[in-house]
Amino acid sequence: MAESVTIHGELDLLARAGHLFSSVSEEFVCAARDLDTWPRPRSQESARARVRASPVQRVRKLFSPTVLVGEDSRRGLVELAGSGAQVRIAAGALPHETIVMDRRYAILAGADAPTGRAYTVTTDPAVVGGVYALFEAAWEAATDLAAFLRGEQPHLDSGSRAVLRALGSGATDEAAARELGMSLRTYRRRVAELLAALDAGSRFQAGVRAGELGLTG
């Protein structure tokens, strides 16, 4: 096979590069904008089958946050995670679809075109390596799906936000309560509620959670 081939359309891709998928042994990584843009019909089953059928050591899938908007795709994600793949959500937009297999092949999806979506399959080490490293960087900075779902804005009312700010300022409970014009007792009640909402066992942990969720900026 040449170092780099361009293929138009999904069917053609499956026909000409399908064998690559079954040849994956070590690692399969994928960054995509949508959940399984790709073998579209019966997406969940086929995805699961693909993961389960092959003896791949490690499957990592990185998605844009937009995959979480619909209930369907959200369920698909959870299922995907349940079937052994590591799933993370990036902060921003991602490619249409970019796949690296065993650090040897890369498949990059281009824009839709009249002739079908353009896919480029390459074995060029520089391209594969570069894409893989960029994937790593994006992966590192992304949030695990579980954490993302768990931490999904534990919707806090404005009161709790104020408490959060007070806590973050480093003031003592007494000062904070005075500042907020409420009694010490109530302030502490609020703090307790906040810890419960953040599922934190200590104020420190709550601080970490709050910081991670960007509830303090």
What gap in Å lies between CA 164 and CA 186, rounded to an integer?
14
Residue 55 CB, nearest distance to a second copy (Å)?
A: 27
Region of 12-20, 70-78, 134-142, 181-189 interacting with a second copy (CB under 8 A): 134-142
Q: Is residue 167 a contact point for a second copy (CB under 8 A)?
A: yes
Residue 62 in 3-state DSSP? Answer: strand
Tell me which of 17, 87, 138, 156 binds a second copy, using CB under 8 A: 138
Q: Give the DSSP letter of residue 36.
A: T
Q: Which residues bind DNA (CB under 7 A)?
A: 172-174, 182-186, 188-189, 191-192, 195, 202-203
Residue 79 CB, nearest distance to DNA (Å)?
A: 36
Q: Which residues pair with 118 in a beta bridge?
A: 8
Q: What is the distance of C-alpha 130 from the center of its chain?
A: 21
Closest to 13 measured CA to CA, from 49, 43, 40: 40
Q: Is residue 152 a contact point for a second copy (CB under 8 A)?
A: no
Q: Which is nearer to a second copy, 48 or 106 (CB)?
A: 106
> x/- string (CB under 8 A) for a second copy, residues 81-120?
---------xxxxxxx-x---------xxxx------xxx
The answer to whether 33 and 94 are in contact (CB under 8 A) is yes
Kindly list the strands in the beta sheet with 118-122, ordered across the sheet, starting from the edge strand earlier in the chain.
4-8, 118-122, 105-109, 97-101, 27-32, 58-63, 86-89, 143-144
Q: Which does 189 bind (CB under 5 to 8 A by kind): a second copy, DNA, none?
A: DNA
Residue 203 CB, nearest distance to a second copy (Å)?
A: 4
Residue whose pair of structure tokens reads 């990059």 in the numeric block: 108
Q: How many CA atoms lie within 13 A of 98 on its CB side?
A: 20
**Residue ranges in contact with a second copy by CB under 8 A:** 3-4, 6, 31, 62, 90-96, 98, 108-111, 118-120, 122, 124-127, 129-138, 140-142, 167-172, 200-212, 216
